[in-house]
Structure formats: structure tokens, C-alpha cells
Chain A
Amino acid sequence: MNFWHVLSILFLSGGLFFFATATLGLLRFPDFYTRLHATGKGDTLAVFLCLIGLAFYAGFSLSCLKIIFIAVFMFLAQPTATHAISRAAMKSGVTPWTKEDATK
């Protein structure tokens, strides 16, 4: 239970919390674009925190560097994937939900 393990526990639990909010967002938000907000942002930060936590747990070694590379990769890949899906949705005519729809 040295210092690094405590740090990794902190990061991992933070990551899990943001995963939970992202998943809740995916379920509760009314419309496709708002759901993308939750998964796009939530998952990016959650994956980043979990990976950094696991990197701390792995201690300073080659696998720690590999994990950091995966973290940087996901940090750039996830928003692009969200962007690609939302662009495809808009192009094929998914109209975003607006306030009036709620009152309808």
C-alpha cells in the first residue's frame, strides 16, 4: 500500500465515477446529440483517468510508457469518433431536439 497504490486507487475511482455519469447521461438525455455530449466528454476523461491510474499502479517501466501512449491515443481518438458520428447523423438528417419538443 505504498504512495503509488493510493494514487492509482484515487485515479481509478475518479475514472469509474466519470464512467458512471457518462453512462447515466447516455440513458437520461433526451436526444442523440445530447447523449453524444455525455459519452464524448465523459468517456474521454474517464479513460484518461483510469489509464493514468493503471500507469501509476504499473510503476515506472516500459508497460507504464505503453499505457501512457494508449491514454494519449484515446485522448485524441475519442473526440474524433464522436465528431464523426455526429457529422454522419447531421448529414443524414437527424434533427437535434429543442426545448419546444419537450413542451409538445
Chain B
Amino acid sequence: MIDFLYGIGFGLCFLVLVVLYRGIFGPGVYNRIAAVSAVGTKTLIILLIMGFIYNRVDMFIDISMVYALLNFVGTLAAAKYLEMEK
């Protein structure tokens, strides 16, 4: 079971790299924010999987909760900022 989690973790890391392509070459600012938000959700799952692999579940769950909160606030702040920049 643990090596299955390793597999999922590496799969997600590969997906993060693929999303980074859109993040770097994204034509406009908005594609980049969408890419950053997508990377954010993937790293949330990677964090939790790391927590289960090193069986420090309680610590990593708190970290991933904070990560989800701040990812959400960050995306809202970026959207708010870009909305006014005519």
C-alpha cells in the first residue's frame, strides 16, 4: 500500500511539472493564475501523501489545511488585484 502511495505521489509531481508548462508559457496573466491554482490543489494532495508515508499524519494534516486556506485566499487576492488593473 505504501508503494502505491509513492506511485500516486510521483504521478502528481509529474502532473505538476506538466501544469507548470502552462504556468510558464501561458499567454496571459490569467492562464498563469489558473495554473498556480491547479498546482496548489495538487501540492495539497502531495503534502497529505507525504504525511501518510512518513506516518506523521497529524502534523501534515494541519500543514495541508493551512495550505488549502492560503491557496484559496491567494487566488482570491490575485483575482481581486487583476480585476482592477484595466
Contacts and interface: CB of A to CB of B under 8 A. Distances in A.
A47 B44 CA distance: 9
Given A12-B8, A85-B75, A63 B58 contact: yes
Interface string B23-35: 0000010110111
A37 B69 CA distance: 22
Main secondary structure of the interface of B (DSSP, over half): helix
Interface residues of A, number: 46
Contacts of A39: 34, 37-38
Contacts of A63: 57-58, 61
Contacts of B52: 54, 57-58
A82 B34 CA distance: 8
Main secondary structure of the interface of A (DSSP, over half): helix
24 contacts: A9-B1, A19-B12, A23-B38, A26-B34, A35-B34, A39-B34, A47-B41, A47-B44, A50-B8, A54-B45, A54-B48, A58-B52, A63-B57, A66-B61, A66-B65, A70-B44, A74-B44, A80-B72, A80-B76, A81-B72, A81-B79, A85-B30, A87-B83, A88-B83
Interface of B: 1, 4-5, 8, 11-12, 15, 18-19, 21-22, 28, 30-31, 33-35, 37-38, 41-42, 44-45, 48-49, 52, 57-58, 61, 64-65, 68-69, 72, 75-76, 78-80, 82-83, 85-86
Given A39-B38, A43-B41, A67-B61, 7 more contacts: A36-B34, A69-B65, A82-B37, A85-B33, A89-B82, A92-B86, A93-B86
